[in-house]
Amino acid sequence: MSDSTEEVRAYTVRLELVDRPGELLRALEPIADHGGNLLSIFHERGNVTPRGHIPVEVDLEATPERFEAIVDSLREEGINVIQAGADRYGTELTVVLIGHIVDTDLSDTLDRIEDASDASIRDLSLSTPDGDAGESSARVRLAAQRGAADAALATVREVAEEKGLRVVEPLAGDAA
């Protein structure tokens, strides 16, 4: 591939993998084979798609030509590519939610934040010191589209307010 003059860009590929040993490695091989640079892997082993597969989100860097070759190769290998495209996420921000997070349905909270904003949940850490009966806290790392961090933060505030949760926001300048 003669793509040395093309700019390397970040991309996100969403996959569905069969839950058996070696499937994640099998999905990563075409990325390495075609010169992709892994940035992150979000492997949701605890969740399943409607087809009973494991959702996996892979962020990588490649030139557009190499990215097309990666996606084609994944499909040729029989890997179910749900979505493939430019990674629009250029800003990360971390918020802390405090309150009855478990009682107010954490999955719903996260889904609503993702659905209503140009952001993706990258990481979550939940602390429930008193079990699900008391207050808990969740550290949520979001990746927002370039220039959309303020809107993503506004969505977090809105959902938190509806659910009676408190939000600890990033310091000014962290949500650029």
Confidence at residue 174, expressed as pLDDT on a 0 to 100 scale? 46
Confidence at residue 175, expressed as pLDDT on a 0 to 100 scale? 45
For residue 164, the number of C-alpha atoms closer than 13 Å in the C-beta half-sphere is 9
Confidence at residue 87, expressed as pLDDT on a 0 to 100 scale? 52
Q: In which residue ranges of the chain is pLDDT below 70?
A: 1-5, 50, 86-90, 132, 146, 171-176
Domains by residue range for the chain, with CATH? 9-86 (3.30.70.260), 89-168 (3.30.70.260)
Q: Measure Cα distances from 120 to 40, 139, 155 in Å.
A: 13, 14, 12
- CA nearest 98: which of 153, 138, 129? 138
Confidence at residue 85, expressed as pLDDT on a 0 to 100 scale? 78
CA 168, CA 84: separation in Å to the nearest integer? 33
Taking only the tens place, the pLDDT of each residue in 53-66 is 888 999 999 999 99
Token pair for 167? 């939000």
Confidence at residue 176, expressed as pLDDT on a 0 to 100 scale? 43
Give 128's DSSP letter. Answer: -
- Name the burial class of residue 104, with classes exposed (0-12), middle (13-18) and buried (19+) by CB atoms within 10 angstroms of its CB: middle
The pTM (predicted TM-score) of the whole model is 0.53
Taking only the tens place, the pLDDT of each residue in 137-146 is 999 888 777 6
Confidence at residue 76, expressed as pLDDT on a 0 to 100 scale? 93
